[in-house]
């Protein structure tokens, strides 16, 4: 089993990214933060490494994508309430991010998201434990039983 998760993302300007995420309430682990990288604490065992593009490039032989033009990944964080989802989106927009779409309300799940200054997409989701998930459509059930 995995003990910790480290999500690594390339950023254009490390100080700008640290300032942006600090305004959203995230903190950084100083032991793993320097001029090339910042270790953002997301949860007890979840971290996002904000890496300068030159430093990120030392970990891969593939070219880096431009997240402002192509989708490299959708990073989804769970939230404790609908209000927390909306609050984080509002903080992201106030800090210089954008909200590329409107909130999505599925009854059992509420989601919204933002793009950080580099264009990485951060999805935020609240799953209401008191609302049952909808049942699968008959067609989906039939294909999974084959």
Tell me the CATH architecture of domain 1-62: Roll (3.10)
Domain boundaries, the chain: 1-62, 72-134
Instruction: State pTM to two decimals.
Output: 0.82
State pLDDT tens for residues 59-116. Answer: 999 999 999 899 888 899 999 999 999 999 999 999 999 998 999 999 999 999 999 9
> Among 41, 48, 9, 13, which residue's Cα sits nearest to residue 25?
41
State pLDDT tens for residues 18-39. Answer: 999 999 999 999 999 999 999 9
- Establish whether domains 1-62 and 72-134 are of one fold: yes
Cα gap 11→37, rounded to integer Å: 9
Tell me the CATH architecture of domain 72-134: Roll (3.10)
């Amino acid at each position: 089993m995995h003990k910790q998760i480290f999500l690594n993302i390339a950023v254009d300007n490390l100080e700008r990214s640290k300032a942006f995420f600090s305004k959203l309430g995230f903190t950084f682990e100083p032991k793993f933060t320097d001029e090339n990288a910042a270790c953002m604490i997301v949860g007890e065992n979840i971290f996002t490494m904000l890496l300068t593009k030159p430093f990120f490039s030392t970990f891969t032989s593939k070219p880096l994508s431009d997240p402002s033009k192509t989708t490299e990944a959708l990073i989804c964080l769970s939230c404790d309430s609908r209000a927390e989802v909306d609050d984080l989106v509002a903080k992201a927009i106030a800090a210089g991010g954008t909200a590329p779409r409107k909130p999505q309300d599925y009854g059992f799940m509420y989601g919204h998201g933002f793009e950080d200054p580099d264009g990485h997409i951060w999805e935020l989701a609240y799953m209401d434990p008191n609302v049952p998930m909808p049942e699968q459509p008959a067609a989906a059930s039939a294909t999974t039983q084959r």
